[in-house]
Structure 1
Amino acid sequence: MKVFGFAGYSGAGKTTLIERLIPIFRARGLRVSLIKHTHHGFDLDRPGKDSYRFREAGASEVLLAGGQRWALMHELGDEPEPSLQEQLARLAPVDLVLVEGFRNTDIPKIEVHRPAAGHPLLHEFFPNLLAIASDMAVAHSPLPRLDLNDSQAVADFILVQTGLA
């Protein structure tokens, strides 16, 4: 599986960009999966639902299965957070796995950057950033700039970088 990531500050537009890229890749016949890292706690469940009650009772894993999808929830407890490589190993094989977050991992990435947000660029601190997708010109960067609003150009860049073009 080819793996390509996106890094940037919250609110930069990573999720929106990825949401626009997936249909482009699908239209080219590629099977695509996604791993999103979050620094915040999250829960797919709601209090009162059976699966929530099973987890609260102490189940290590709860698998929800239905006619259209299934989801496996694994409680980490005292276990460390799994690495990106461990998470990739859990996915069914696809052509391309997009990764949002995981700035420190050793995968090729695009930095999503909006100068108006006032955040500094990340590329100086994370060597696997290959380009910057931005809605404005970016000063003082040796990396190529991709137009954040040109999803097709960003998709083409990723396909070339991953060898899927």
Structure 2
Amino acid sequence: MRVYLPSTLPSLARAAAEGELGPAPLTGYAVTPALIEWYASGDTEELEYVALTEAARASLRMLAADRADGVVAAARRVVVAAEVPDDVLSMGADLEERARVRLAEAVPMAKVAAVHIDDTFAADDIEAAIAALPAADRGDDDARFTVDGAEAHELMWYATQEIPDLLA
């Protein structure tokens, strides 16, 4: 199954150096039966875009957590698309997270199909979204609008052989 794994540039660098995304368990996003049922009119491409968008939201939170821990990380959301065997996945029943899956094993970099990353021109909006996350979580509508503004930027697609250049 194609799974979209939220990441950050430092996490991607670590995975590239170690040869795998991990450690397990990992949270990812995929076209699950619950997502298909909820989004009945969508085709596979639309459903994959929904899963990718959910992973990008999670990447924003990972980026904020990295920053809070003092990790220097560029203001770019990162999503790693990987092919994962169904038997290492579990799907929750949380209706708010219809696309969320848990992976019981680390994902070898050989299973990575592509990487999706914000272009550098999105940095100001990503920075604003990171700063607005705490207020958005408290229910501030203006802050939510700012966080949602990050989604106005489409993630760029990169082939796996481009990962070293992205990290340079």
TM-score where L is the length of structure 1: 0.26
Q: Which has the larger radius of gyration?
A: 1
Q: Which has the higher contact order (CA 8 A, sep 6+)?
A: 1
